[in-house]
Amino acid sequence: MLNVVELVSFADIKAAADRIAPDAVRTPLVPVLHGTDPARPLWLKPENLQPTGAFKLRGALNAVRSLSPAQRAAGVVTHSSGNHGQALAYGGKLEGVSVVVVIPKDAPSVKIEACQAHGAQVVLVAPEDREPRMLQLAEERGLTTIPPYDHRDIIAGQGTVGLEIAADLPEVATVLVPVSGGGLLSGVAAAVKALAPDARVVGVEPELAADAWESFRAGELVRWSVADCNRTIADGLRAQLSALTFAHVREHVDEIVTVSEAQIESAMAWLARNGRVVAEPSGAAATAAYLCADLPPGPTVAVVSGGNADPDRYARILAGG
């Protein structure tokens, strides 16, 4: 018998919006006036403006504020490439909930240090060990797991990005969303399709970590090795779809496209020059698709998912090195 996955509803996303409103920034849609295609006017959704520098704060706040009193008292644990970890740490600090974050040893130091600055205990592991170590710590310490994407409250929180896009640009034709584990894409697609059903929702993934693209084409989950996914510069896009997020993608997403490493780096520089936006590699992926992919005409939104770029790498990319 097949397991039926319950999808996050529009009501879930609306409830999340109310829950996170006091502390998550309602980011604007910013038009880009130069360097764009007149047939496809571009707006940026700059989630790099969140207090923790990425969209992850939305889902993390929603999840922490949905905990039971007993769960809050015991604390939570997650695994993360960095942005979800620091968002959960920040949410835990606001709510008085202790947080443990399991992070790959090769994560950017700026992300590791941010988790620690918000009071989280950081556990560094090999990339392939992050989820098993999270589950081990949860069992040993009685902690509640709040994974970065495979969680209904996380998806609902991330869906508030789509809620705002559809409210601010009802005539939107295409919404470009980075995809990794799929929490952001799942939530945004569910919200956009509820409010602007004719809009196309397109996931964007690095060519070097294209498990979601392959899964979408195959109609079933296709797994890539951790080593293969870790080749991409976009460290926030190295995770893979779960059964929960893939169910949302199949239901609501129109297409998944891929971008190269060179296109991601070029988009980072383009965003700085034309949008005055600081984007980490993962955050620039959607804009890379706008610049390079074959997309239909009409008003287009690219979600800039985060701006927690490694300073040295960012400077080299802006300098063209």
Domains of the chain: 10-53+151-319 (3.40.50.1100), 57-145 (3.40.50.1100)
The catalytic residue among 56, 66, 111, 186 is 56
CA angle (77, 80, 83) in 5-degree steps:
115
Q: Which two tokens stand for residue 176?
A: 């470009």
Q: d(Cα 144, Cα 95) in Å, to the nearest integer? A: 15
- What whole-number percentage of the chain has pLDDT above 70? 99
pLDDT at 25 over 50: yes
pLDDT of residue 1: 34
Q: What pLDDT band is residue 321 in, cutting at 50, 70 and 90?
A: low
Residue 54 DSSP one-character state: B
- What whole-number percentage of the chain has pLDDT above 90? 93
SS3 content of the chain, % helix, strand, coil (to 5): 50, 15, 35
pLDDT of residue 238: 93
Contact 29, 124 (CB under 8 A): no
pLDDT in tens, 136-176: 999 999 999 999 999 999 999 999 999 999 999 999 999 99
pLDDT in tens, 28-54: 999 999 999 999 999 999 999 999 999
Q: Which residue has the tokens 């009685």?
A: 142
Q: Is 266 a catalytic residue?
A: no
Contact 194, 222 (CB under 8 A): no
Q: Is 66 a catalytic residue?
A: no
Q: Which residue has the tokens 């997020």?
A: 245
pLDDT of residue 135: 97
Q: What pLDDT band is residue 82 in, cutting at 50, 70 and 90?
A: confident
pLDDT of residue 81: 84
The catalytic residue among 66, 80, 81, 305 is 305
Contact 153, 181 (CB under 8 A): no
Contact 116, 101 (CB under 8 A): no
Whether the model clears a pTM of 0.85, i.e. scores above it, the answer is yes
